Chain A
Amino acid sequence: MTLLDFARGPAIHASLIILVAGILLRLVGVLVLTRGADLSRPRDAFGNFKGYRTVFSRAWPASEFNAATVYQTAMAYIFHIATLIVVVGIVPHIEFITSLTGLSWPGLPNFIGVALGTIALVSLIALIMRRLSNPAIYNSTVGDYVTWIIVALPLVTGLMAFAHVGFRYETMLALHILSSALLFAYLPFSKLMHAFWFIFSRAQSGLAYAHKGVRI
């Protein structure tokens, strides 16, 4: 079995099983523990409904914090959007998703994929630079850096495979798939789970405050 066979066979297969099982394990495990509804009369009759707005209103910092946070907010947005488009937009990824789900859609030209991948990587580097230069703000743990590396690896290996640089193509492709497999397996048990938690945490804060008649 070659490295590529291992990567796109057992490795990616196992990582997807861990990803799906892990996400559900964490979602159900935490959500079952939530407290019941607040039985007191809400200050605002539509309080609960308004509370859910926080999911969206928290998508950008409040204007008071603009100056202080615009750098990481903008970089984080650039990173997330560029990564998302690369993940679902370039032809090799679509082929992979098609082989898993049967769904397919038109792909982007390669040069856009390379450009977006590069932008994603640069924004990721911009974010780690800020983290490194402001230790007091982030209070980083080892896990934060490990997570950063695990997120950066698929981008780096993907760009290298795409551009046919580094090792031979099949080796780079295998490394890219293996690094993605690592990301999949790591996601549910790390801060990367924010991909799901952000909805619940924002809604929870919004609901708690809205119930008391406070709009956040």
Chain B
Amino acid sequence: MGYEPTLGDVLRSQGVSRRAFLQFCSATASLMALPAGTTSAMAEALAAARRPSVIWLSFQECTGCTEALTRSHAPTIENLLFNFISLDYHHTLQAAAGDAAERALEEAQHANKGKYLVLVDGSIPLLEYCSTVAGHSNKETLEHVCADAAAVINIGTCSAYGGIPVAKPNPTKAVATGDIIKDKPIINVPGCPPMPLAITGVIAQYLTMGKLPEVDHLGRPVAFFGENIHDRCYRRPFYDRGQFAETFDDEGARKGWCLYKLGCKAPVAYNACAHVKWNNGVSFPIQSGHGCIGCSEPGFWDMGGVYESVATGKFGDGAKLGVAAVAGAALGAGAAVLARRKKTQLHEEDAAES
């Protein structure tokens, strides 16, 4: 086996200075809420890291997660870090096809038994043959590949929580990775698509510390998903002042007021969009004038309409209240009539006795 370049070698060959690399390490360490001292440790560990084998499984997905990652901040260190991992199997990105591709999967699994990372995007249909690759159902492939994995990273809401395929009526009976794989460390990096920095941040921490970062109750890294977008939104002062856009073309919308009334889910969506932002820190959905749709949350597609505000009640059929009113009045009248009849009866009995 020939010399395998370290990440440091790769970065140097790409003309990335040590200074830029340290900046990346300190930014990542602070984003991941790691102690300041970890920056140099992270730099050393990352620079010396060998290419980890990564198997990327694509199930019921739209390839948006891959698109987001590959077109993220090119050519930044996040991108190079992603390039650095030995992506041994990825439908969209690998050159091989057919049997050769499947052989690459088997070889990677065999050569790195117990050490490789599995990155999953897309949900898994329990109606097994709704989605197959090389004649195997997604469930079979997932179970087979995860059996010898070191850890599983769910990329995107579909693999983390089911995402859009799970949306009612869930025709393929789709489930999340965690519903099938129970015996491996799993971390969720949800989003539709997830933030590239969250993906590379998790990988960087895994390479540096040898373990996955701290997660919240939904299995997401706290460093990126610990705060809701509303708390970090630059439009928050307008919310506090009660200045809301009522439509997408009114004065409030033009002035950049709060989008709460237009269905923004930022108060119940936990992600780093508002401070890390997208496209190299250029913008994020709310900044471009559309409310957050809460894509990093489980079941976001069924959380109510995209344009229904968070405070909206789900009443189904409002006519039920009318029926309830009539029923209540009827019951009341019935009770009163019974009471009156009883009273009359008592009066008659009293009269008969006297």
Contacts and interface: CB of A to CB of B under 8 A. Distances in A.
Contact of B311 (A2, A29, A96): A96
Contacts of A23: 328
A99 interface: yes
Contacts of B335: 25, 29
Contact of A17 (B230, B324, B333): B324
A79 to B, nearest CB: 23
B321 interface: yes
Contacts of B299: 2, 5
Nearest to A93: B311
A169 B241 contact: no
A33 B261 contact: no
B321 A25 contact: no
A28 B267 contact: no
B353 interface: no
Interface residues of A, number: 44
A contacts with B: majority SS = helix
A18 B320 CA distance: 11
B337 A32 contact: yes
Contacts of A175: none
A110 B314 contact: no
Contacts of B230: 164, 169
Given A20-B325, A33-B340, A91 B244 contact: yes
Of residues A12, A32, A110, which shows the largest number of chain B Cβ atoms within 10 Å of its Cβ? Answer: A32
Contacts of B339: 29, 33
Interface string A1-31: 0101100110011001110111111111111
A42 interface: no
Interface string A85-120: 000000111011011100000011111100000000
A110 B241 contact: yes
A99 B312 contact: yes
A96 B332 contact: no
Interface string B119-157: 000000000000000000000000000000000000000
Contacts of A100: 313, 315, 318
A117 B337 CA distance: 43
B336 A92 contact: no
Contact of A109 (B231, B241, B298, B324): B241
A28 to B, nearest CB: 3
Interface string B313-354: 111101011001101110111011101100000000000000
A139 B318 CA distance: 41
B310 A92 contact: yes
Contact of B309 (A2, A24, A27, A95): A95
B313 A99 contact: yes
Of residues A13, A23, A26, A27, which shows the largest number of chain B Cβ atoms within 10 Å of its Cβ? Answer: A13
Contact of A21 (B231, B309, B328, B337): B328
B303 interface: yes
B241 A30 contact: no
A169 B228 contact: yes
20 contacts: A8-B313, A9-B313, A9-B316, A13-B314, A13-B320, A16-B321, A16-B324, A17-B321, A25-B332, A32-B332, A95-B261, A99-B312, A99-B313, A109-B240, A109-B241, A109-B242, A110-B241, A110-B242, A169-B267, A173-B267
Interface of B: 228, 230-231, 239-242, 244, 260-261, 267-268, 298-299, 303, 308-316, 318, 320-321, 324-325, 327-329, 331-333, 335-337, 339-340
Given A26-B332, A29-B332, 18 more contacts: A2-B299, A5-B314, A12-B313, A18-B324, A21-B324, A28-B336, A29-B333, A32-B333, A32-B340, A91-B242, A92-B309, A99-B308, A99-B315, A109-B241, A109-B242, A112-B242, A169-B228, A177-B313
